[in-house]
Each structure stands twice: as structure tokens, then as C-alpha cells.
Structure 1
Amino acid sequence: MENNKRVSLVYSGSKHFSESAEALNNMFNVVAVADNVLLEDHLNKMSLFSTPDVIMIEADDEELVFSLVEKIKSNPLTSGLIIILIGDRQDLKLKLRAIKAKVHDLYVHPYEVDVLNERLNFLIKFKLIKPNIEQLSVIKKRNEYHVPYPKRIFDMIASGAVLLVLSPILLLVAILIKLDSKGPVIYKSKRVGTGYRIFDFYKFRSMKVGADAELKNLSNLNQYADDGSGSNAFVKIKNDPRVTKLGNFLRNSSLDEIPQLFNVIKGDMSLVGNRPLPLYEAEMLTSNEWSLRFLGPSGLTGLWQISKRGKSEMSDTERKQLDNFYAKNYSVWFDLNIMLRTVPALFQKEKV
């Protein structure tokens, strides 16, 4: 029998767990929660890297159970997880509902743990598919955001006009970057926007070449305070040693952001929305609780920029809450208000 100790399993329910707890703990890495309300809360806090492989649910409250199963299957992060239901008795109605809900199996208590282990061996080997951020980007979301035509038209006209007016400044900045340090004028990186769609994100280069490879060695300088989660989703480095002399001026004046107007014209993002994130940040925000930010527009400026940009006391959770708030409450008037308040926020004092 294959050793499944590496497999993580979340068990929801307290009625029957004690009878099989020892056997399950010997075979799997088990996390037990008392009921399905706590199970939903537990799953909401999971990231791409901490999502369990298997979920076992005691089906004592059918309506709550199948409502939760539907939520699990509709979320791209958890849709491929193995779901096992535990019933109290042979029940044809429960079995038919389980088949319709497409759970992987239904066991009736008392069940043989060894039989369950063999079944999970098969399911894990042939059916378990955990998504990565690239797979999430092509999954069609039920509530995927589409830019309304008036907003899209405004984005194109406003971005084109600003680029035309600023074209002499763009040329001057490009020349200064070439004179200041070796490397390309435009820094291009992969970012994750609306619906986890990945696109090429443009900025004027403000760092030395090879800066991305040095990021892992600078975690102690991250401006986002530890919120108790054990890891921070967002990364913003204080007094970043990778930044060039000219780069500090470009960042503090936000001139490095101007090429993103081309992203707006291309339709990658809007003028106002939640900031598109690097892949390593987006992978930490794929739980039910935080994936909401990706169901609203992504943008060049947004609620975060006008609220607490550059403030070192901002926590990881505070920024995620700002993003979620915008995704749920954005409107034309909200966007206009954010744009008007963006200008004074462009010039920041802290070097982040």
C-alpha cells in the first residue's frame, strides 16, 4: 500500500472522526475542523501552496454540505480537489445528490480506512490536478469582469491624449535612462490582472539589470508588515538597493509608470482598478477570501494608491481589504474620485 503521509487531508465533522482519527493521522497529514462553517473559513484562508489535497465531509446537514461543495467546485483554486462525503446510513437520495454534485466518493459510516486509502491512492494518481497561476489565467470565471464600453472608450481616449501630451517627456526619460545605466529603456514583466489573466506589463526601467533575481535576498526590507499569516503576499522594498540613481527620481515622481498607458490602450488594464500583480504575489492570493480582487478591473491607479501608498505601517491584510472593497464597490463616480485624488498621491516621500 502506497504511503500517503505527504497528502494533506481536511476532515470536517465531529461525529465520527474520533473512531478513525488514529488511522487517518497515520496515513495522511490531517487537519480536523468541527463543522462545515469552520471548514469554509479554513478554505477561505488557503493560498495556492497550502490548499489541501483531500476534503472529507460528514454529510449530516445535506443542504449546507452541498452548498459548500458547489462553492468548492466553482473556485478555480479548489475545483480540482478530491471531495469525499461520509454518510450515517445507506441513503439513495444522498447518493444521487452526491453523484449530481460530482463528488469523488460517498462512504457510509462505519467505513474501512484501508479501503479509503486505496481509493485515495487511485484518485490522487489519476484525478488530482492542482492549478498553478498560469492555469488559473485561462479558466473561465462565472463572474469574470468585462470592461463596460463607456469605461473602455474613456480609457482609450484619455490614455491616447496623455501619451500625446507627454511624448516629449517620454523621449527625454528614455534618453536619460540609456545614459544612466546599461540595459533596456522599458522594463517588461509578467503581471496578473482581471480574472487571473497574465499579460506583459510595461514600466520605464528604474533598476539595474538582473534585479528580479535578487528579490529573494531582500525579504527583510519588505514594507508590508507581518499580519500574523506567516507570509506576506505583497512585496515592496524600502530603500531598494537595486534601484538606479535616476530610478529613485522616476519612482518618486511616478514617471516610471507612464508606459502602462500603452497597457491601457491594449486593453490589458483600465485607468482605474486594482493593481496588476507579479506572479509570485498573485499566487498568494488565490483563496476564496482574496481572489475577489481579481474579479474587478485591474488598473493603473486605484484605491490603494490614494489611501496608503508608501506608508510603512500598512499591513498585508489592509491592502488586500482595500482591493476587495474596490472590486465590490467600484463605479464611475468612485473612479473619478480616485483619479482626482491620484495626482497628489503621485509624489511620495518614502523610497518604496
Structure 2
Amino acid sequence: MTVAETSHPAPPRRGSDFARLSRRIAEAGLLDKRPGYYALRISLVAALFAGTWAAFAALGDSWWQLGLAVLMAIAFAQVTLLAHDLAHGQISRSRRVSRIAGLVAGNLAVGLSYGWWMDKHTRHHANPNHEEHDPDVAPDILIWSRRQAEASEGLPRFIGRWQAFLFFPLLTLEGVNLKVSSFRALRRKSLKSRGTEAALLSAHVLAYLGAVLLVLPLPKALLFLAVHQACYGVYLGCTFAPNHKGMPVLTAEDELDFLRKQVLTSRNVRGGRLVNTALGGLNFQIEHHLFPSMPTANLRKAQPIVRDYCASLGIGYVECGLLESWGQALRHLHEVGRPLREVRT
């Protein structure tokens, strides 16, 4: 998919297109904080997180723990989504409060470096789906464009041939990958509060592994860890993949303003309250990318304003169901891997 296929020229207008939209959003009060919403959401997620650990201790040496591992993966993912909102300043106006809460939720609760992830995610928001600048489309394992396929070598080149079929199996490793990346980030001098981050990450690993090994015998403990981390990785992957994968991949030749850069590379996912809760509001990805600090609860209200505004400018606004979003992502992965399948080995 190219940028030209998703946008049509609009008559020249004075001023910034995004500035006009931003004024409409601000006048509607949609950038205001929602303390009541987040107080309730944090309470529910904290209860789920603590409740799964309490149930784990109560069940003891039982095969029912494998079912609980799935529920605990959901709890971990919901905590991670809260850390995401904290990183964007959606919950509190205070950067200090957001950072402290983010370190507790990210590093201590789920073993994800808040500082590392915040830096990575900020770069993604600045240049979504950009080959050179978005770390989320770097060809580390998977390839995201034909240009990357032609330049690939080693593991990405090997996996790239059939990456669409390997996508979901690879997601089972994403939870472990995030932990490994978090510890590797501690070597960076640019990471703020490295000592605090290291202490909290270490405390998480020791408490997490210690609790599991204390309650379960080693074979059952290893199986519990495998199920939990696999489900956690798949949940996160299924939450973030529908947002941009399969949308236009930008290069240095693409010169777009902020509004078009964010809208044309993002995709919304239709669904009711269940989808909204499961995806942490990220199903309104277009609105989130345009207004990252907007509280999750307001994204739904902003959608008709943004959608109608994009229509008035002839800017393609993509929205589809959850299964279709995964299908588009997988078809894109398969298509960009075509050059590798056509090469004789």
C-alpha cells in the first residue's frame, strides 16, 4: 500500500490542517484529564493483578495453575497498557508522578524497563512506520517492506520467506524478548535512573521466579512460566500489531505533514466495549497518534470529529474489524517476503 492510494489532494487552505483539528478537539474538552476513569481502571487492574497472585498461592501444586497462567498473562498485559498511558502523560500532569508510577508498573510489576520502552515508543510516535526512524519496523527479525527484504541477510532473510506463517508463533517469545531488551538497555548511559531501573527489574525477576518455584515443583514451574510468558507475548502482539502493520511504510522520499503522517500510517479497529477494554483503547489508534496525551476514555468521543475532518480533506481514514486487521497485517508480511521466496537458494 502506498501513501498516494490513501490520500487525495484537498483545496489549499491557510494555516495548519492539524492546528484546526486540534482546536476543535480542545474546544470539546477531550484533552482534559479523566481522574475518575483512571482511578476506577487502576483499581480494577490492580485487583486483577493481585488477585491472580493470591489465587496462585492458594491453588498450590495443581495443574489448574496452567489456566491461571493465562489469566495472569491478561493481568500483566493490562498493567503494561497502564504503563503505556503513564508514559504518554494521559493519567497525570506531573512527569515525576508518571515516571514513579511507570517504574512501579513497568519495571517492578511486569519486568519491562519503563525508561527504555518510553524512549522506543516516543521514537515510534514521531515517525510511525518509517523505515529509517521507527524502531517498530526495524528489520531485526521480521521485515516490513520490499526494500528491507532485498537488503536482508542472516536470520531476517531466512524467516522473511514465510514470516506471515511464523508471526503468531514468534509472538510467544515477545514477553521474554521484552525482558531481555530491558536488561540490555541498562548498559546505555543515556538511560535515566539506571540504578533504580536495574534494582526494580532485578526485584521483579527474583520475586517472580521465587514465587513460582516456591509454590510449584520444577517441571510444573517451567511449564507455568512458558504458558504465562507465551500468552503475555501473544496478547501484547495482538494488541499492537493491528495498529500499523499492513499500513503504508514511509521512506525518506515521503514528505508528509504531521496530520497525514499519523493518519495514513495508522488503523482503527472496530468493536464494542470488550475490544476497547482488551486493547486498552489502542483500537482508536488514529486518534491516539494525533493526540498521545488524550485520556483513553476520550478517544472514542474524538473519533467522529477526526474521521469527519479527514473526510473533508480527502485523507484516507482506515477502520476495520479486529480479525480483518490481523489479516491485513499478515497479508502485508507475506507480500513483502515475496522477493525472498522468488530467489533461488
Verify same fold: TM over 0.5: no
Relative to the length of structure 1, the TM-score reads 0.23
Task: Select the structure that is richer in helix.
Answer: 2
Task: Select the structure that is richer in strand.
Answer: 1
Larger radius of gyration: 1
